[in-house]
Structure 1
Amino acid sequence: MQEKDIEKKLRIGIKGIGGLCLKWVSPGYTGVPDRMILLPGGIIRFAELKAPGKTERKRQIVVQRILRHMGFIVYNSVDSVDKVQHIVAECKEVIQHNE
């Protein structure tokens, strides 16, 4: 399965629970995660998607560490449908908890 297929499944899954899964591009600041997940209640999470077997570059790892240090949740190496389903289920639980 290609990264774009995994990305599409995540986008559709998050939309299905009432959130947005936006492509995140930050000119001038490399290594940001691929997707910003916006959930009802002002909750923001990030996801770095990869084709199966691929890993993050060093700069991506550094940026993930910075985001986590700031208190954000970052899903790394999202490379399978199982991981996408886990993220969607976790986000759904967070939404329900905050209602």
Structure 2
Amino acid sequence: MLEKQIEQYLVKQVKASGGRAYKFVSPGNSGVPDRIVTLPGGRIAFAELKAPGKKPTPLQMNQQRFIANQGLPVVVIDSKEQVDDLIKQMQAEGGMQLWEQ
């Protein structure tokens, strides 16, 4: 499965859940996560999409660490199952756990 397919699935599932998965592009800040996911109830997470088994680059990990240190959840997703888990966790009481890499 390609990263693009997982990203398309994320956008579709988030929209079906009443939210948005905004494409995140930040000029001058290479390595930021691919998507900002928002769901009703003030839920937000930053998502880095990868092909199955692929890992973030050191630059991406630095950006993820910075965002997480701001108190915001960051996830790395490499499967459709992880997309479903993200949405369930964001919808659950208490929302997301913080980034743990």
Q: What TM bracket, shorter-length normalisation?
A: 0.7 to 0.9
Equivalent in the alignment of 1:80? 79
- Count of matched residue positions in the alignment of Structure 1 and Structure 2: 95
Looking at structure 1, the residues matched to 79 and 43 of structure 2 have their Cα atoms a distance apart, in angstroms, of 24
Judging by fraction of residues, say which structure has more helix.
Answer: 1
- In structure 1, stretches of 5+ residues that fail to align are none
- In structure 2, stretches of 5+ residues that fail to align are 96-101
The answer to whether the Cα contact below 8 Å between 2:43 and 2:91 also exists between their aligned partners in 1 is no
Q: Give RMSD over aligned pairs.
A: 1.7
For normalisation by structure 1, the TM-score amounts to: 0.87
Change (3 A) 1:94 1:15: farther
The answer to whether the Cα contact below 8 Å between 1:17 and 1:92 also exists between their aligned partners in 2 is no
The answer to whether the Cα contact below 8 Å between 1:41 and 1:95 also exists between their aligned partners in 2 is no
Q: Deviations over 1:44-73 (max 9, x none)?
A: 210000011211010100010011110000
